[in-house]
Structure 1
Amino acid sequence: MASVSVSHMILFIASIMIAASVAGVFTDSISQVSQAIDDRGISVSENVRTDIEVISDSGSAAVYDETTENITLYVKNTGSRELRSESEAIDVLVDGQYETDVTVTILDGADGWGPGDVVRLEISPNDGGGLTTGDHRVKVIINEDEEVFRFRI
């Protein structure tokens, strides 16, 4: 009888050790998943609170200057949080081509690009040849919020 009790004791201890190691692995995995969900939630929250509108008039001659070959757009922060106003934080595509020469100016003397504030984007297309007569598109992207502005020359 003693041998049965000893073998049961060994199996019981082994079962407890296996259960403890499995619980440790599950706890670590659940912690990592929880952290990933928290990180994604913060990112989604920032994107939800970001909203912009291009308020330039597409029929205005002020959008494209044939002399300087620059495109000028006015963009309003219609979201609920302050946005970065550096040109590195704003992606601009003109007719599907990524533009790197973008100057951002905050209007009305504001310190930052807060909700309700407007910035002026001055875009110098990379190809240097200017825009041809016809329809054109400018896509402005900030924190995954995209706005498309269409105009005609």
Structure 2
Amino acid sequence: MASVSVSHMILFIASILVAASVVGVFTDSISQVSEAIDQRGVSVSEDIRTDIEIISDSGSAAVYEDDTITIHVKNTGSETLTARPDQIDVFVNGRYKSADAMSVSLEGDASTWRSGEVAKLEIEESGLSGDTRVKVIINQDEEMFRFNT
């Protein structure tokens, strides 16, 4: 009879130890998943609040002069953006343009691009002729601009 009580006590203690270790693993995993969801939520919120519009006139001769594409992009979203070439992805006819091949300027040499403000992008590109497509991507928001040279 004492042996049954001892074996029950051993099984009870073993089950408590197993349950405690499982709870420790689950608590850590749930904490990591919660942190990942919070970080993703901030990123998605930033993407949703970002909206841009290319407001350049595609018929203007000033869009492409002296091997430089000049386009004006308006921040129409509620997110304040950073007006730096390394924060903007640009593709000309499907080819990625590095930050070294472009410049971004705002009125008054400001570095923050607030809602309603217009940035001037100057992209170095030689030898363009015919139909040209420029895609601008900021925080997952894409805009396409087409013009003829």
TM-score bracket for this pair, using the shorter chain length: over 0.9
Q: Which residue of 2 aligns with 1:135?
A: 131
Q: Greater share of helix residues, 1 or 2? A: 2
Q: Matches of residues 59-138 of structure 1 in structure 2 within 5 Å?
A: 59-65=59-65, 68-100=66-98, 101-107=101-107, 109=108, 111=110, 112-125=112-125, 128=126, 130-132=127-129, 134-138=130-134
- Residue type of the partner of 2:122? E
Structure 1 length-normalised TM: 0.91
SS, match of residue 56 in structure 1: coil
Structure 2 length-normalised TM: 0.94
Q: Kindly provide the CA deviation profile for residues 118-143 of structure 1, in whole angstroms up to 9, marking residues without a partner as x.
A: 01011111xx4x201x1110001111
- Native 8 Å contact 1:50 1:143 kept in 2: yes
127, 143, 148: which is aligned to 1:147? 143
SS, match of residue 62 in structure 1: helix
User: What is the identity percentage for the equivalent residue pairs of Structure 1 and Structure 2?
Assistant: 65
Gap regions ≥5 residues in structure 1: none
- Residue type of the partner of 1:102? M
Q: Matches of residues 27-38 of structure 1 in structure 2 within 5 Å?
A: 27-38=27-38
After superposing on structure 2, the runs of 4+ consecutive aligned residues of structure 1 that deviate more than 6 Å are none
Q: Give RMSD over aligned pairs.
A: 1.1
SS, match of residue 79 in structure 1: coil
Count of aligned residue pairs for this structure pair: 146
Gap regions ≥5 residues in structure 2: none
Q: Matches of residues 28-67 of structure 1 in structure 2 within 5 Å?
A: 28-65=28-65
